[in-house]
């Protein structure tokens, strides 16, 4: 209970601090939101989207799930994507994985982890597709990190196959799709994919898959 009460106290101090520095801060956000970015990231508590991108309230529209997956039958993600693209008109969609990802580690194992195995099937497929490359990496940590990178690239490609993104591209070359991976060890983002904004660039991802 003490940890829970700490959250409420932290919130009170945070709100009072912002209001003292800028009395209009919260009022400015009452009229709606106009973020330029949809950030699809991992649910891991060590990957705080606004903090690692240095963005403020209202700048990121965020969806998080285990291992930052883009499944074609995930109505939660597709609903977020549709709202971000068709209503908020975001300019950029970012898939951000991270090193030391528990979901990636689980998918790299042959063990069963219960219900989550269904969710991790996509990463296991990536593992099979890139088996030769991954087995050539002797260090386990480096091998898992590479699997995480490959997963991000595959999620970008999965986005390019959604009718939501395809129809948006027919209206104009937006949104731009980007793939990043975050290092918990040093706080830095590594860019894997930049600016996929049409079917031609989507096809350009295939040599990486």
Q: Which of 46, 91, 188, 194 is catalytic?
A: 46
| Bridge partner list, 204 | none
- Please pick, among 63, 92, 98, 178, the residue that the annotation labels catalytic: 98
44 an active-site residue? yes
Cα separation, 47 vs 205, in Å, equals 26
- Check residue 72 and report its DSSP letter: T
Cβ(99)–Cβ(184) below 8 Å: yes
Based on the residue annotation, tell me whether 105 is a catalytic residue of this protein.
Answer: no
Other CB atoms within a 10 A radius of the CB of residue 178 amount to 20
Classify 144 as helix, strand or coil: helix
Q: Catalytic: which of 101, 127, 146, 154?
A: 101
> Is residue 91 annotated as a catalytic residue, yes or no?
no
Three-class DSSP category at 84: helix
- Active-site residue flag, 63: no
Of residues 44, 96, 130, 197, which has the active-site annotation? Answer: 44
Closest listed residue to residue 192, CA positions, set 153, 166, 160, 137: 153
Catalytic residue numbers, as ranges = 42, 44, 46, 98, 101
């Amino acid at each position: 209970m003490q940890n829970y009460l700490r959250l409420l106290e932290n919130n009170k101090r945070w709100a009072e601090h912002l209001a003292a520095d800028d009395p209009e801060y919260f009022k400015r956000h009452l009229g709606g939101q106009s973020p330029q970015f949809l950030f699809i990231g991992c649910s891991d508590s060590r990957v705080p989207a606004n903090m690692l991108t240095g963005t403020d309230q209202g700048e990121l529209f965020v969806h998080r799930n285990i291992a930052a997956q883009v499944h074609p039958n995930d109505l939660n993600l597709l609903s977020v994507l549709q709202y971000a693209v068709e209503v908020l008109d975001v300019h950029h969609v970012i898939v951000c994985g991270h090193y030391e990802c528990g979901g990636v580690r689980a998918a790299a194992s042959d063990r069963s982890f219960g219900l989550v195995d269904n969710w991790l099937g996509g990463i296991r497929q990536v593992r099979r597709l890139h088996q030769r490359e991954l087995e050539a990496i002797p260090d386990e940590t480096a091998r898992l990190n590479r699997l995480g990178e490959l997963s991000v690239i595959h999620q970008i490609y999965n986005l390019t196959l959604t009718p939501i993104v395809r129809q948006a591209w027919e209206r104009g070359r937006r949104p731009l799709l980007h793939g990043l991976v975050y290092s918990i060890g040093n706080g830095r983002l590594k860019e894997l994919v930049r600016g996929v904004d049409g079917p031609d660039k989507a096809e350009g991802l295939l040599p990486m898959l």
